[in-house]
């Protein structure tokens, strides 16, 4: 059995693979493949409607929220969002706490003024900046809830008066949060929601009202909402995989239940690593991510040996991002606790051999 610690695209529940595989041969006993059904049919409308309903239910969204499934990944939202909300005389506030957030900042600057309220770049993004002032005139405040590459996570929602916007690509639906406090949430699907090739967007109706209409149709949130994510042919199969994953999450007890398992997994790993001097944890303790654990050994020969042992034990996706080095273990919703237990045993054995 392979233990998949990939940072994304990443492991999905096994039942999702089985159901998706079956739907490609014969979707809902129609004799048709999910890949060949028309998007403007009752068959697909049911898929989309149920996926939207499950997002609303699992996130406990109030009636002011619209849910969209859009083409592209979070990188598309990096520019689509400011294209809708910024102009030369408008300002947005951004927190610079990781590689992805800094890319969002770069794209926003093309459209308007950007106030970077704080940055942890000075320490290679190993912590989340905490004390900063946000200009009250900002059209929105943007941050990344979980930094996939650096292994940091915001543990609480900032108390601010302006609209909150969050890139939740790598921790959405992994922990309980008051999602209704956000005016705009986006997330590439390929971690906790489904497979690569679709974006989840949750937008508050009041914030939607303020979006621009003097932009290309495919960039216009109002048009997507008016057309129920069907402004053009949607990524049918990618949305179907989201539906299957959302159903699995509901059946597993929802966000509160999965959060407990996620904490078990990350606590087990961090506690093990903390107790072994051979391994270093570069991230500030209070900012550690429960989705992506980053650690190093400061010994390249040993790092290679550790990676090889992981590989021999059928563990994949352990190598750190090229910009950080070391190791990164991603523990998204679908990763079973047993995979972390197997890894932890290997970590301990390795420490005994080389500590």
Cβ-Cβ contacts under 8 Å for 56 (sequence gap 6 or more): 65, 67
Q: Where are the beta strands (DSSP E) in 127-248?
A: 141-144, 146-147, 152-153, 164-167, 184-188, 199-204
Cβ-Cβ contacts under 8 Å for 331 (sequence gap 6 or more): 5, 262, 265, 266, 269, 290, 291, 292, 293, 340
CB of 4 to its own copies, least distance (A): 6
Asked if residue 82 has a cis previous peptide bond (ω within 30° of 0), the answer is: no
Pick between residue 14 and residue 205 the one whose CB is nearest to its own copies: 14
Its sign, for the CA torsion 219, 178, 118, 7, is: negative
- Residues 13 and 191: their CA atoms lie apart, in Å, by 11
Site string for its own copies, 276-315 (x = CB under 8 A): --------------------------------------x-
Of 76-84, 201-209, 251-259, 267-275, which part binds its own copies (CB under 8 A)? 76-84
Whether 100 is catalytic? yes
- Residues 74 and 163: their CA atoms lie apart, in Å, by 19
DSSP-derived pairing of the beta strands 199-204 and 184-188:
antiparallel
Contact set for its own copies, span 197-226 (CB under 8 A): 197-198, 214-219
3-class SS of residue 162 = coil
Contact set for its own copies, span 33-62 (CB under 8 A): 33, 35-39
3-class SS of residue 89 = coil
Of 204-212, 229-237, 277-285, 298-306, which part binds its own copies (CB under 8 A)? 229-237
Q: For residue 92, which of 77, 80, 81 has the smallest C-alpha distance?
A: 81
Structure tokens, 188: 């590439």
Q: Kindly state whether residue 325 participates in binding its own copies, applying the rule CB under 8 A.
A: no
CB of 51 to its own copies, least distance (A): 15
Site string for its own copies, 160-199 (x = CB under 8 A): ----------------------------x-x----xxxx-
Of 53-61, 75-83, 172-180, 201-209, which part binds its own copies (CB under 8 A)? 75-83
Of 1-9, 160-168, 285-293, 295-303, which part binds its own copies (CB under 8 A)? 1-9
Whether 167 is catalytic? yes
Phi/psi for 70 (5° steps) reads -115, 155
- Residues 150 and 127: their CA atoms lie apart, in Å, by 9
CB of 207 to its own copies, least distance (A): 21
Of 105-113, 159-167, 277-285, 298-306, which part binds its own copies (CB under 8 A)? 105-113
Q: Kindly state whether residue 1 participates in binding its own copies, applying the rule CB under 8 A.
A: yes
Position among 92, 97, 236, 278 found at the interface with its own copies (CB under 8 A)? 236
Position among 51, 83, 139, 172 found at the interface with its own copies (CB under 8 A)? 83
Pick between residue 217 and residue 299 the one whose CB is nearest to its own copies: 217
Structure tokens, 65: 């929220």
3-class SS of residue 347 = helix
Catalytic residue among 65, 96, 171, 191: 191
3-class SS of residue 118 = strand
Q: How many CB atoms lie within 10 A of CB 348?
A: 14
Position among 42, 110, 210, 267 found at the interface with its own copies (CB under 8 A)? 110
Q: For residue 167, which of 104, 235, 87 has the smallest C-alpha distance?
A: 104
CB of 36 to its own copies, least distance (A): 5
Pick between residue 119 and residue 199 the one whose CB is nearest to its own copies: 199
Whether 248 is catalytic? no
Give me the active site residues, please: 100, 167, 191
Name the residues that contact its own copies, by CB under 8 A: 1-2, 4, 6-12, 16-18, 20-22, 24-25, 30-33, 35-39, 71-76, 78-79, 83, 103, 106-107, 110, 188, 190, 195-198, 214-219, 231-238, 241, 314, 316-317
């Amino acid at each position: 059995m392979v233990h998949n610690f990939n940072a994304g695209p990443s492991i999905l529940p096994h039942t999702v693979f089985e159901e998706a595989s079956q739907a490609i041969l014969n979707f809902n006993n129609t004799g048709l493949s999910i890949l060949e059904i028309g998007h403007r049919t009752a068959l697909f409308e049911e898929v989309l409607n149920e996926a939207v309903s499950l997002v609303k239910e699992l996130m406990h969204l109030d009636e002011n929220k619209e849910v969209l499934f859009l083409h592209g990944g979070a990188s598309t939202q990096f520019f689509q969002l400011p294209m809708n909300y910024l102009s030369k005389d408008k300002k947005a506030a951004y927190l610079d706490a990781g590689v992805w957030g800094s890319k969002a900042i770069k794209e926003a600057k093309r459209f308007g003024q950007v106030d970077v309220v704080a940055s942890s770049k000075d320490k290679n993004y190993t912590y989340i900046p905490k004390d900063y002032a946000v200009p009250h005139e900002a059209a929105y405040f943007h941050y990344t809830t979980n930094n996939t590459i650096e292994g940091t996570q915001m543990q609480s929602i900032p108390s601010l008066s302006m609209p909150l916007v969050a890139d939740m690509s790598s921790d959405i639906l992994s922990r309980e949060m008051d999602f209704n406090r956000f005016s705009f949430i986006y997330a590439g699907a390929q971690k906790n929601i489904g497979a690569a090739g679709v974006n989840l967007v949750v937008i508050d109706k009041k914030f939607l009202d303020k979006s621009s209409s003097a932009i290309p149709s495919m960039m216009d949130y109002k048009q997507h909402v008016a057309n129920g994510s069907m402004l053009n042919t949607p990524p049918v199969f990618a949305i179907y995989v989201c539906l299957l994953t959302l159903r699995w999450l509901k059946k597993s007890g929802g966000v509160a239940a999965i959060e407990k398992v996620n904490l078990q997994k990350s606590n087990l790993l961090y506690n093990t690593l903390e107790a072994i001097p051979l391994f270093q944890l570069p991230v500030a303790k209070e900012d550690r991510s429960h989705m992506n654990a980053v650690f190093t050994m400061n010994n390249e020969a040993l790092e290679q040996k550790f990676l090889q042992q992981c590989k021999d034990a059928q563990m994949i996706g352990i190598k750190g991002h090229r910009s950080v080095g070391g190791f990164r273990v991603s523990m998204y919703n679908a990763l079973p606790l047993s995979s972390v237990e197997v890894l932890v045993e290997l970590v301990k054995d390795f420490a005994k051999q080389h500590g």
